[in-house]
Structure 1
Amino acid sequence: MPSVVVMTEIREFRIAIPQADLDDLADRLDRTRWAAQLPGGRARGVEVAWLREWAAYWRDGFDWRAQEARLNAFPQFMTEIDGLDVHFLHVRSQDPDATALLLVHGWPNSFVEFVAVVEHLRHFHLVIPSIPGFAFSEAPRERFTVADAGRMFATLMDRLGYGRYGVQGGDLGAYLAPEVAKAAPEHVVGVYVNGGLGFPTEDDDLTDDERQTLSWMAQWSSGSVDHHSLLRVAPQTFAHAWNDSPVGLLAWMLQKFREFAVTVELPEQAIDRDLLLVNAALYWFTGTSGSSSWFMYDNERFAWPIGQDLVPTGVYSGPPGIRRLAERHNRVVHWPEDNPGGHFVAMEEPVVFAKDLSTFLGGLR
C-alpha cells in the first residue's frame, strides 16, 4: 500500500492583501445602500448614524497598510496539521528557558485579540494560532469539533518543540484551551480562561444568591442577539450578506462587540478602534464570516464550557461564574474576584490581563 505523507513543514508567512482588494473595499463602502433608521434607536440594533461614522472612518481614516505592517512585525508561520493549513504567530522570548504559552482567541475575534498584550508577555515564548476557519487558517471541510481543534493545537506545540506549556483561552478559546489539556495533559502546565467556567443554569441546585446571578445573566442575554441559535441554523444564509457587504459585516461586528463590552456604552470606549477594524477587515479580506461559525452549527444547543480536571485551572475573573460550580469539573487554583474589563480582556485590559496570567502560570512552576 502507498505510504501516507505527513506534512510537518513550517513555512514563513506574511500578510499581503492585494491592492485590488483594498480598492474593491473602498468602492463597496462608497456604494453602500443605507437602511432607514427604525424607531427605537439602539433597541432595534446598530444605529444608522453610528454605523455611518464607523464606515466613513474605515473608508477614509483607517490605514490598512499601516496595520498590515504592524501585524507583520510579529513572526508569522503556516503549517499543515490534519490536512489543514494553520496560521500562527510565534514570538519567542529573549530568555531561551522561558515557559511557552499558547494563546487561543475567541469569536467573532481573531489573532488580533492579542496584538496589544504581546509586549506585556515577552517573558514567555508565545504561540498565537488562528483557529481553523478564522483569518488565514484553512476552514474545516467536514464536521470539526473543539476536541479536534484542541488536538490540532497540541500537535502544533509539539511540532514547535515545546514539551511543557501553558494554555489560555477566552470565549471560543475557553472551550478550546481545556481540550488542549485533554489532548496532551503531560505537556500542559495549566489552563487559564478569561471566564465562562461555573456559570449557573436552570439545571443546577442554586442558592438564593446564585439564582440572582442566573437572573442577571438571563436579563443580559435577553437584550442580545442569540448568535448561537442564528449560526447553528443558518450560517450560510447570513454569510452571503456578510461576504458581499462590508457595511453589513461591520454592523454585525459592532452589534456583537457592543454586547460583549459590558463595562462601557460603546466598544470603542474599551477597545482601540483601529484594532476593532483590523479584526473586521481580516474577516472581510479572508471571507471567513461563515467558516468561523463551525463550532456553532454542529451543536444541538448552547452550553457553557465545562473545562477539565487533568491540570490546574486559573480564571481571569470569577464572577458571574460561581467557583463551587466550576470546581465540579476543574482543579481551580486561581480565581480573582475583581479584575477589570469586559469580555475580550486582552484587548480591553492588556496590562492587567498579562499580569494576572503571569501570576497564575508563575505559581505552577
Structure 2
Amino acid sequence: MNPFRVEIPQADVDDLRRRLTDVRWPAALPDTGWTRGVPLDHLRELADYWRTGFDWRAREAELNRYPQFTTEIDGQRIHFLHVRSDRPDAKPLLVTHGYPSSVAEFLTLIGPLVDPAEGQAFHVVAPSLAGYGFSTPLSGTGWTMGRTARAWVELMRRLGYERYGVHGGDIGGGVSGMVAGLDPEHVTGAHVVTDPFTAAAVATFIPGLADRLDGDDPVDKLILDRIERFRTEDSGYLAIQNTRPQTMGCGLVDSPVMQLAWIAEKFEEWTDLPIDRDQLLTTVSLYWFTGAGASAAHTLYDQAHSADWGAPPVVPQGFAVFGADETVRRLVPAPADAHWTEFPRGRHFPAMEAPAELAADLRTFFGPLT
C-alpha cells in the first residue's frame, strides 16, 4: 500500500489552458438545442470557465484532504481513498463509482458517512475503477466488472476488513453485486442506486425482456418506450465505445473540448438536480489529466464482449431509486425482503445530486447489519 497524493504537474495545467485557448470550433446549426448533442454556446461557456475560472489546485487540495493510496492487484495499479471514522462503532463500506464518473463523485458524501451528526458511521474505501482516474494506465485488456469485483475482494482483504458493506451505482452497482456474490462470508450487505432511465437502459441488454412486456399495460408501455428511445436515440456514446474504443480514445485524450463535451452531455441528460460547474469540471479534469477517456472506453468494450457476470449476491440487498416511478419495480430483480427506498428527485449521480438523502439511506440499510 503506497500513500498517494494528487499532484498534477503545472506544465500539464498550462498545456490544458493552451489547448482550450486554441480550440477549433465547428459551425453551429441554428435552433437545434440539445437534439444533436451539446449546444455550442453551452460548451463554449463551459470551456471558457474551465480555462479562466476553474481552480484545479483548489479541487486538487479537496481531493488531498482524504487519505489516498495505490496498490497493485492482478497486475494493475489501483488507486483508492481510505477514510477512517473516529467513531468506535463505524462499519467498513466499499463504494464504487460508475461511468462517466470518478472517486470525486463521493467528495460530498464521505463527510456525512465518516462523521454523521447521528446514526451509523462508516470507514469509507472508494477505489478508482481500473482505467479511470489514477488507476491508470491500463495494464492490459480484460478489466470487466467480474475481474474488478475480484480485485475489490482482494483490496478489502489487504486492508484487513473481516466484515464490510458494498455500495455503488451504474458500473459500481454491478461490481458491488458481484463482490457480494464472490465474498458472502465477509460482505454484510449490498446497496445499489438506480433510476428509471438507467434501469431501462440496462433492460435493453437483458435477452427477451421486451418480449415479456405487455404493450397494452401502461407501465410496460412506458418501459418499452424508454427501451426504444435508448436503442435509437441515447445509446450512441455506448455503441462506439463498445465497438471502437481505440478510435474514440484518440479524440478524448487529444482534445479537452471533446472530453468535456463527452461528459457534459451525460451530466445534462442524466441529472435532474443541479450539479455545479466545479463538480462537473473536477470529473472532466480527472479524465483529462490521466487520459482515462480512452482507457475507460476500453473497459466498456471488454465488458460488452464478456460473459463474466459473476455470482448473484446472497447477502441482504438494499435499493435506493432516485427520480422514482412505477417502472423500476418491474425492472430491478429485487428480492421480496430487500430494503427499498424511493426518492422523487435525483437520477444517475445521487452522491453528487442528493448526498444527504443517499447517506441517510446507507445508514438506515447498513445500521442493523453485522
Residue of 126, 129, 132 corresponding to 2:130: 132
Bigger shift: residues 32-41 or 100-109:
32-41
Residue of 324, 343, 346 corresponding to 2:351: 346
The answer to whether the Cα contact below 8 Å between 1:104 and 1:128 also exists between their aligned partners in 2 is: yes
SS at match of 1:107: coil
SS at match of 1:341: coil
Summarize the alignment of residues 239-254 of structure 1 with structure 2, pairs less than 5 Å apart. Answer: 239-254=249-264
TM superposition score normalised by structure 1? 0.89
CA distance in 2, matches of 1:194, 1:55: 31
TM superposition score normalised by structure 2? 0.88
Aligned to 1:59: 51
Summarize the alignment of residues 151-300 of structure 1 with structure 2, pairs less than 5 Å apart. Answer: 151-195=150-194, 201-206=209-214, 208-218=217-227, 220-221=229-230, 222-261=232-271, 263=272, 270-300=274-304
The answer to whether the Cα contact below 8 Å between 1:58 and 1:277 also exists between their aligned partners in 2 is: yes
SS at match of 2:342: coil
SS at match of 1:335: strand
CA distance in 2, matches of 1:219, 1:21: 42
The answer to whether the Cα contact below 8 Å between 1:314 and 1:332 also exists between their aligned partners in 2 is: no
Question: Which runs of 5 or more structure 1 residues have no equivalent in the other structure?
Answer: 1-9, 265-269
* Partner deviation per Cα, 1:119-145 (whole Å, 9 max, x = no partner): 110110000000100010132402222
* Partner deviation per Cα, 1:196-229 (whole Å, 9 max, x = no partner): 5696530435581431331342365244243221
Q: How many residues align structurally?
A: 348
SS at match of 1:125: strand
Residue of 351, 358, 364 corresponding to 1:359: 364
CA distance in 1, matches of 2:123, 2:252: 35
Question: Which runs of 5 or more structure 2 residues have no equivalent in the other structure?
Answer: 115-120, 204-208
Bigger shift: residues 213-222 or 76-85:
213-222
Aligned to 1:337: 342
RMSD in angstroms over aligned alpha carbons? 2.3
Structure 1 pair 204/313, CA: closer, same or farther in 2 (3 Å)?
A: farther
CA distance in 2, matches of 1:67, 1:231: 28
CA distance in 2, matches of 1:288, 1:24: 17
SS at match of 2:338: strand
CA distance in 2, matches of 1:321, 1:164: 34
Identity %: 43
Q: CA deviation at 1:338?
A: 3.1
